[in-house]
Amino acid sequence: MKILAIETSCDETSVAVIEDGKKILSNIVSSQIEIHEKYGGVVPEIASRHHIENILPVFNEALKEAKVTIDDIDYIAVTYTPGLIGALLVGVSFAKALSYSRGIPLIPIHHLKGHVYSSFIEYDIKLPAISLVVSGGHTLLIKIDEEHNFEFIGETLDDAAGEVYDKVARLLDLGYPGGPKIDKLSETGKPTLKIKKPNIKENEFSFSGIKTFVTNYIHNEKMRGNDIVREDIARSFQDITVEILCEKAINLCNKENIKTLTVAGGVSANSALRKRMNEMGKENDIKVFFPNLEYCTDNAAMIGMAAYYEIKKKERDYNYILLDAVASKDMFL
């Protein structure tokens, strides 16, 4: 079984071909980071225009690398929510046209489910499991049972962790995207700032207070005429953020008596998060799985993997010619 997967939810145009849920025949990603870098973040209209320019060349390259033709494809999978509506429309429209013209079943995939399944590409994950999805747009905890049913556990009450990484990086004049730059800068810093953890419910997250603390600290130091040590700020911010993410995820595993934890999303590429989560996993006899770095950020391979398990889970007709892109939708409805 071969699945052609399409992902255009934000600023990466990606098309992949996967076979039998394990073999990645191709996974082509066209990134727009250099285009949006000068704006300090993704500009939706610009992202949509570049998706239009990129989708056909990326599609052709994915088929070529996989050494297949469209006639070899059994299913088409596409991200339809959540994301930038203009960007999503490019992928959904392209997928619908392919599906209708070639008579290939179309499977709509929730973007966050794609991230959850990114770890399944390279590992045989034993269920049940807890999944921590942490990115620029989302920070949430999910429970997955043996039948691949998803249960929402908790999420951020305000900013996503990746979003705060970008905002703190901007305060430090590090540029966009901020996550990798803070991760690198913090390696030579000291945790000199005493940032308190937010006092919230056990399965909820909140990062706006941490962002405000860092913002006020930098502002006050500059007003006093003091130099700021960017490395120390980066280290202090990263330490508290990583500790919160790890504690919440590991504590939930212990509470539910679940010994498998997956971590996904763009922030899962963070070196400090990987190190600390693996340490805490070993301390608590929990197996922790991170996707390969190429599958942490948005890509079509993870969408294809989610589609594979959707097909396995229930047999039905995938006739979604009326499918529409949706900027935001709860995947648990």
Rounded-to-10 torsion of CA 7, 11, 12, 13: 60
pLDDT given for residue 323 in this prediction: 85
Please determine, for residue 332, whether its predicted confidence score (pLDDT) is greater than 60: no
How long, in residues, is the chain?
333
pLDDT given for residue 4 in this prediction: 98
List C-alpha distances in Å: 330 to 18, 92, 151, 267, 297: 26, 18, 11, 21, 20
* pLDDT tens-digit series, residues 133-181: 999 999 999 999 999 999 999 999 999 999 999 999 999 999 888 999 9
* Cβ atoms 241, 164 nearer than 8 A: yes
- Phi/psi of residue 172, nearest 5 degrees: -95, 5
Superfamily holding 2-116+296-313: ATPase, nucleotide binding domain (3.30.420.40)
The answer to whether the peptide bond before residue 180 is cis (omega within 30 degrees of 0) is no
Distance CA 93, CA 74 (A): 18
- Least Cα distance to 139 among 260, 242, 10, 40 occurs for 242
The third-level CATH classification (topology) of the domain covering 126-290 is Nucleotidyltransferase; domain 5 (3.30.420)
* pLDDT tens-digit series, residues 108-137: 999 999 999 999 999 999 999 999 999 999
Q: Where do the structural domains in the chain lie, given as residue ranges?
A: 2-116+296-313, 126-290
* pLDDT bucket at 327, cuts 50 / 70 / 90: confident
* Cβ atoms 198, 211 nearer than 8 A: no
pLDDT given for residue 257 in this prediction: 98
* pLDDT bucket at 315, cuts 50 / 70 / 90: low
**Share of residues in the chain with pLDDT > 90 (%):** 88
- Least Cα distance to 7 among 133, 148, 110, 116 occurs for 110
* pLDDT tens-digit series, residues 210-254: 999 999 999 999 999 999 999 999 999 999 999 999 999 999 999
